[in-house]
Homo-oligomer: A and B are copies of this chain.
Amino acid sequence: MRYPNGKTYQKKESDNKTEKTHRTLLSAANRGMSLEEDINLSNDYYRDMGIALINKRPTPINIVKVDYSKGARITDAYFEKQSTTDYNGVYKGRYIDFEAKNTKSNTAFPLSNISEHQIVHLKNVLKHGGIAFFIISFQMKDEIYLLDASFVINFYEHGDRKSIPYEVFKKDAVLIKQDYAPRLHYLDAVDQLYFK
The distance in angstroms between the C-alpha atoms of A54 and B192, with both chains bound, is 27
B78 touches A76 (CB 8 A): no
Report the minimum CB–CB distance from A56 to chain B (whole Å). Answer: 10
Report the minimum CB–CB distance from A70 to chain B (whole Å). Answer: 9
Report if A26 contacts B (CB, 8 A). no
B53 touches A125 (CB 8 A): yes
The distance in angstroms between the C-alpha atoms of A157 and B129, with both chains bound, is 34
Report if A61 contacts B (CB, 8 A). yes
The distance in angstroms between the C-alpha atoms of A95 and B53, with both chains bound, is 11
Segment at the interface with B among A84-92, A147-155, A170-178: A84-92
A128 touches B91 (CB 8 A): yes
Contact pick for A76, options B61, B73, B92, CB 8 Å = B73
Chain A residues with a Cβ closer than 8 Å to the other chain, count? 38
Chain B residues closer than 8 Å to A76, beta-carbon distance: 73-75
Chain B residues closer than 8 Å to A121, beta-carbon distance: 53
Report if A99 contacts B (CB, 8 A). no
Chain B residues closer than 8 Å to A97, beta-carbon distance: 90
Report the minimum CB–CB distance from A128 to chain B (whole Å). Answer: 5
The distance in angstroms between the C-alpha atoms of A93 and B57, with both chains bound, is 20
B130 touches A90 (CB 8 A): yes
| CB-based closest 6 A-B pairs | A93-B129, A90-B95, A58-B60, A74-B77, A90-B130, A95-B95
25 CB-based A-B contacts, threshold 8 Å: A53-B124, A53-B125, A53-B127, A53-B130, A58-B60, A61-B61, A61-B63, A61-B74, A61-B77, A72-B78, A72-B79, A74-B76, A74-B77, A74-B79, A75-B75, A88-B89, A90-B95, A90-B125, A90-B129, A91-B128, A92-B128, A93-B94, A93-B128, A93-B129, A95-B96
